[in-house]
Amino acid sequence: MGDGEPAPATADRDLIERHVARVIVKPQALEVCLIPTCKAENHGLEDLAPCHPPIPTITLPWTAPSFAAVKGIVHAPYTDESRDALLAAITKARGWIDDIRVGAIGSFAEIAEREAQGERHVRLLAPLAFLSPRIIAAIVDGTAPADLTVTGLAKALPYSWAEQEERVGLSL
């Protein structure tokens, strides 16, 4: 592509704007209505001027994607990777809180720097240190809900263990 040539996307857009009047979306087809052009008298092919009807139309077979909801129960099996990620996050959070408790580290900002993570990430995961023992046991033995993720568990975690268990789906 030379210095004076437009980018391919721009060239395509210009070409469409010059030749397509409108596109009509129908249930079974797309109708592309072109801008009619006539060969101007005493001019070359490159000198095309707009003229009046008939409007050339191209019909393309097409069907819209179905947006019908699929009914039923979706089951994603609880995987070892998701369990390991949850347990690793809980372990890290407990270590961070212990470091702050004993004075080995002074703030979440220091933890973030040490871990090469953002402070926001550390603050998000820190409440996992106070997770209900029942939830941890369910994660360890694989009976925790399959859709349980580190982020989902850490966001807005209640202080009460009973409320935590209810939110996760372990309440009796």
* Domain membership of residue 18 as a residue range: 8-61
Looking at the structure of the chain, the number of domains it has is 2
String of DSSP letters for 15-61: HHHHHEEEEEE-SSEEEEEEPPEEEPTTS-TT-EEE--SPPPEEEEE
The whole-angstrom separation of Cα 139 and Cα 142 is: 5
Model's pTM, two decimal places?
0.54
Confidence band of 38 (pLDDT split at 50, 70, 90): low
If asked whether residues 19 and 50 sit together in one domain, one would say: yes
Does a structural domain hold residue 69? no
Please determine, for residue 54, whether its predicted confidence score (pLDDT) is greater than 80: no
Asked if residue 68 belongs to a domain, the reply is: no
Specify if 67 maps to a domain. Answer: no
Share of the chain above pLDDT 90, in %: 31
29 and 91 housed in the same domain: no
User: What does the pLDDT look like over 123-169, one tens digit per residue?
Assistant: 999 999 999 999 999 999 888 888 888 988 888 788 888 898 888 88
pLDDT, residue 41, reads 46
Both 107 and 153 in one domain: the answer is yes
In-domain check, residue 2:
no
71 found inside a domain: no
My answer on whether omega of the bond before 50 falls inside 30° of 0, hence cis, is: no
Please, what is the average pLDDT of the chain?
A: 81
